[in-house]
Amino acid sequence: MAIFNVKDYGAYGDGIQNDTNAFIAASAALTAAGGGTLLIPAGVYMVGKQDFAGKANQGYAYRATDIITISNCTKPVIIEGSAAVLRIVPNLKFGSFDPITGNPYYPASMPFTNVNYAAGIGRMVVLSNNSSQVLVRNLELDGSINSAVLGGSWGDQGYQLAAYGLYTKDCPNLRVSNVYSHHHCLDGLYIAQSPANATATTPRTPATLINVRCEFNARQGFSWVGGGGVTAIGCKFNHTGRAAFGSSPQAGVDIEASGGALVRNGLFINCEMINNVGLGMGADSGDSADVSFINCTFLGTTYYCAWPSKPRMHFADCTFSGITVRAYADPVNSKGYSTQFSRCLFTDKLKYNSQVYAPGSTSYLVDFGVSGAGVKLDACVIDAATTRIGYSSNYGTVTATNCQFYQQVTGSGTESAFRAICVGDTVLNSGSLAQLDQSVVLGRASWNGTEYPQTTNMPQRRQQLWANNGSGGSQQHIGYGSSPADFLGSNSAQLGDIVFNSDAVSGAPAGWVCVSSGSPGTWKAFATIAS
C-alpha cells in the first residue's frame, strides 16, 4: 500500500511553520491513488488558514480551509499519526464578522444564518464515502479554541459553523484508536450517514472507537447524527463547553439522527461522560434507537447526566451521578422499547471538582416524569444524599426488581413519588415519608432495616393496584389502607375503587368501595368481619 509522508509534501512539524498546504497536497495525492497510508511523523504541525472576503456578498466573511480530506477511496486508508499533534494556528476568526471591515458582527436576533457574515475554522480531518477500511490512529487534534478570535453568534443559537476535529460521513468500515480530539470550536468527533442511504434495511456501517478522547470542545464531544453500528471502548467524552466558550447543547455524547438519517446499534463500553456543561449523554431527537451502555460513567456537574429518551436503550453496570431524566416510555412495552437499567448505581455523592448536579432537596435523583411507563430497573441502587429518590407519574408502570432505595434528606417537601411495581427483595432506607408513594411492593420489603414480609403493613407506604373496569374505560384502584383517606392520600377516587382494610379486626369492615367519584368521593363499607 502506497505511503504518503506529509514531510515529502513540505510539512515541517516544528510547531512554528504553517503546514496546511502540505497536508492538503498529501491527502489529495492519497485520494487520487484510491487509498494508501497518510504518514504523519512525530512532531507538532501548525495548520489552518482563512481567506478574508474584503467585500460584500462573497458567501463568507472568512473562508475556512479543511486540512486533511480523503474521499471516495475504494482501497484501504490509514492515517498514521505517530503520536503527532495537529494544532490550529492562533487568531483564526470564528462566528459572525463584517465581510468588509473584518470586525466582529453581532446579530440583532437569532437565528442568524447569513453566509456573507460567516467565519468558520474548518475541519481538521474529513473522511467521506470511503468504501474500504479506514483507520485513524495515534493522533492528537488540537482545535486551539482558547486562541480563536470570537465574533458574534451564527446559526440557530451560539456558534454553529464548521470547526471539527474528526468529521466522517458514509464510511462503512471506520476504526479510530488512540486519538485525542480537543478544544475545537464545534465538535471533537462527528459521524454521519447520507439520508439517501438510510432506511430500515440499510446495512450496518460499523465504526469502532478505541481509547478516543473528545474533551473541552465547544458544542459536542461526539455528535452521532447518522449510521449504524458505532462501538466505543474506553472512550472519554468530557468537559464539553468548559474551554473559552460553548454552544448548545454542549453534551458529551449527542445521539441525534438528523436530516432524515437513522441512528442504530450503538455500544459504549467503559466510557466516560463527565463534567459537560450540557448533558452527559443525550438522545432526544430524530430516528435514533438501539444503543447500549456497559460499565459507563455519567457525571453531571451543571446539568443532567443522562437523557435517554429514545427506544431500546439499555444500561448495564453503569454509574449515574447527578440527575437522570426522561427515560423512554412504552406503556405496553410489548416490543421492549422502554429504557432498561441493570445493576446500575444512581447517586449524587460522586463529584468532579466537588461538583455534582443535584440542586437541592426538592429535586429528584431519578426523574422519569410522565415518561416512566414500561421502564425497568433490575438490581439497581438509588442512593440520594441531597436529593429525593425519584419521581414517576405513571402509577405502577415502572418495574423495579431487587432494587435498593436510600435517601438522607427528610422533612416536609422531601417525599418522593417514585411509583413502581417493586418485585423481589426491596430495600428502602429513609426518614422521610411516602418514598414509594402508591407503589405496588411484591415479595419481601425492608424499611429502615426492618423486614416486612406482609408488605401491606409497611409503614408510611400506600399500596395500589390498577385494574381495567372491563368496558375499556378508566382504571380502577385496588389497594390497602386503614381507611379510604389513608389509601387515597391526595388523589381523587373513581367509581368502583376498592380499599381493603389493612387494620382488619373483628366487627370492622373488610373494606370500602367507592360509589361516587370525587375527592375524597363517597365510600361504603362492605363485609363486616365476623367475631
Residue by residue, DSSP assigns 33-56 as HT-EEEE--SSEEEE--EEE--SS
Contact 350, 325 (CB under 8 A): no
**pLDDT at residue 452, rounded to an integer:** 63
Q: How confident is the model at residue 48 (pLDDT cuts 50, 70, 90)?
A: very high
C-alpha angle 87-93-95 in degrees, rounded to nearest 5: 120
- The answer to whether residue 460 scores a pLDDT higher than 90 is no
Check if the beta carbon of residue 25 is closer than 8 Å to that of residue 31: no
Contact 395, 420 (CB under 8 A): no
DSSP class of residue 487 equals H
State yes or no: pLDDT of 226 exceeds 70: yes
Q: Please, are residues 516 and 494 in contact by the beta-carbon 8 Å criterion? A: no
CA distances from 233 to 192, 213, 237, 244, 310 (A): 19, 11, 12, 28, 22
Q: Which three cell numbers stand for residue 270?
A: 467503559
User: 43-47, 136-140, 190-194, 272-276: which has the minimum mean pLDDT?
Assistant: 190-194
Q: Is the pLDDT of residue 395 over 90?
A: no
**Greater pLDDT, 200 or 62:** 62
User: Between vectors from CA 32 to CA 29 and to CA 38, what angle results, nearest 5°?
Assistant: 45
Percent of the chain scoring above 70 in pLDDT:
89
Name which residue leads in pLDDT, 127 or 503. 127
Segment among 26-30, 98-102, 398-402, 477-481 with least mean pLDDT: 477-481
Average pLDDT over residues 253-258: 96
SS3 state at 9: helix
Other beta carbons less than 10 A from residue 198's beta carbon: 21
Return the pLDDT at 499: 86
**Which residue matches cell numbers 437523557?**
307
Cell of 223: 455528535
**Could you give the 3-state DSSP secondary structure of residue 197?**
helix
Question: What are the cell numbers at 129?
Answer: 464515502
Query: Per-residue pLDDT averaged across 116-130, rounded?
Result: 98
**pLDDT of 202:** 62
Instruction: Tell me the residue type at 356.
Output: V
Q: Is the pTM of this model over 0.75?
A: yes
**All three cell numbers of 407:** 435517601
- Taking residues 377-401, report their average pLDDT: 86
pLDDT at 124 over 70: yes
Per the model's pLDDT, the better-predicted residue between 9 and 427 turns out to be 9
The better pLDDT of the pair 339, 373 is held by 339
Supply the Cα-derived Rg of the chain in whole angstroms. Answer: 28
What's the pLDDT band for 196 if we cut at 50, 70, 90?
A: low
Q: In this predicted model, what pLDDT tens digit does every residue of 285-338 receive, in sequence order?
A: 999 999 999 999 999 999 999 999 999 999 999 999 999 999 998 765 556 789
pLDDT given for residue 491 in this prediction: 72
Average pLDDT over residues 147-171: 97
The pLDDT, as a whole number, for residue 303 is 98
